Amino acid sequence: MRVGILGCGAIGSEIAEWLDKEQEVALVALTDRDREKAEKLAERLVSNPKVLEPDEFIEEEMELVVECASIEASKDNLLRIIKKGKNVVTLSTGAFSDREFKRKVEEAAKEKGVKVVVPSGAIAGIDGIKAAALEKIDHIKLRTTKSTEGLGVEKEGVVFRGNARDAVEKFPRNINVSETLFLASGKNIEVEIVADKNIKNNIHEVEISGEFGRMYVRVENVPSEKNPKSSKLAALSAIVAIRNFFENFKIGV
């Protein structure tokens, strides 16, 4: 399977380094708005992928594109990639808080017969939430605690209370998980974001209640060494999503 990566930051680099060793996958192309970043990553990889401008990247022969750039990059490129008949794994889930964009992506994927996969990212329990949503979910709350550095704020304590869409708008590089929860559940998410200058891990706590019963999931993620705004688990979840494209025996989502 021929794969390209859109976005060569912390998460994109971790995914590229894994793909570089995976025999079932050929990493053929990289692109980033900062071309130098993509070039430095390519130099470290045995697979020697091409470094392309976005328009060239979209035209490259690939079966799968992994998007791990930003909400803006997703909205600029995702539809064009899908319309070229390429499958997509996308981590910038916050882009789908724009419901019109989400609708267009779904329609284009259906028309072209390709898949758009949203990994679980920095949280766990998405398979259980999707199962619970088949009946009725009454309430979901997400409480995220990160360092002040990771959130890009100075003050400690609660820095946001509101819904998933507003959370993504205010913290676009920190709270994609809120939109992932919405997509899995179809339910409005109550979001609380807390800043703590002394915390080392990124903590996500999800509380769900419904006809299925009650669920509480707490994940303490090690931040990415290259970017404290992201969790290491986010990159790992994308790798699992990629493997699901070529593995015949799958567990969960």
CATH number at residue 44: 3.40.50.720
Give a yes or no: residue 251 inside a domain.
Answer: no
Give a yes or no: residue 67 inside a domain.
Answer: yes
What span, in angstroms and rounded, lies between the C-alpha atoms of 63 and 28?
10
Number of domains in the chain: 2
pLDDT band at 251 (very low <50, low <70, confident <90, very high): confident
> How confident is the model over 79-123, as pLDDT tens digits?
999 999 999 999 999 999 999 999 999 999 999 999 999 999 989
Mean pLDDT of 233-240: 92
Kindly provide the residue ranges of all beta strands, DSSP E only, lying in 21-86, ordered along the sequence.
26-31, 50-51, 64-67
143 shares its domain with 188:
yes
Considering the entire predicted model, what is its pTM? 0.91
115 shares its domain with 146:
no
Residues of the chain with pLDDT > 70: what percent? 99
Which of 86, 187, 204, 229 is flagged as catalytic? Answer: 204
Average pLDDT, rounded, for the chain: 93
> How confident is the model over 117-148, as pLDDT tens digits?
999 998 999 999 999 999 999 999 999 999 99
220 shares its domain with 131:
yes
23 shares its domain with 93:
yes
Give a yes or no: residue 253 inside a domain.
Answer: no
Kindly provide the residue ranges of all beta strands, DSSP E only, lying in 119-231, ordered along the sequence.
137-146, 157-163, 190-195, 202-210, 213-221
What span, in angstroms and rounded, lies between the C-alpha atoms of 22 and 192?
38
107 shares its domain with 71:
yes
150 shares its domain with 117:
no
Q: Which of 235, 121, 231 is nearest to 180 (CA)?
A: 121
> How confident is the model over 167-203, as pLDDT tens digits?
999 998 888 899 999 999 999 999 999 999 999 899 9
> How confident is the model over 27-72, as pLDDT tens digits?
999 999 999 999 999 999 999 999 999 999 999 999 999 999 999 9
Give a yes or no: residue 248 inside a domain.
Answer: no
Question: What tokens appear for 229 in the block?
Answer: 């705004």
Indicate which CATH number applies to the domain containing 216.
Answer: 3.30.360.10
Predicted local distance difference test score (pLDDT) of residue 253: 60
Give a yes or no: residue 252 inside a domain.
Answer: no
Predicted local distance difference test score (pLDDT) of residue 225: 77
H or E stretch at 108: helix 99-112
59 shares its domain with 110:
yes
Give a yes or no: residue 174 inside a domain.
Answer: yes
Give the side-chain half-sphere CA count within 13 A for 2: 12
What span, in angstroms and rounded, lies between the C-alpha atoms of 239 and 66?
10
> What is the domain extent for residue 10?
2-121+234-243
What span, in angstroms and rounded, lies between the C-alpha atoms of 160 and 151?
11
204 is annotated as an active-site residue: yes
Give a yes or no: residue 101 inside a domain.
Answer: yes
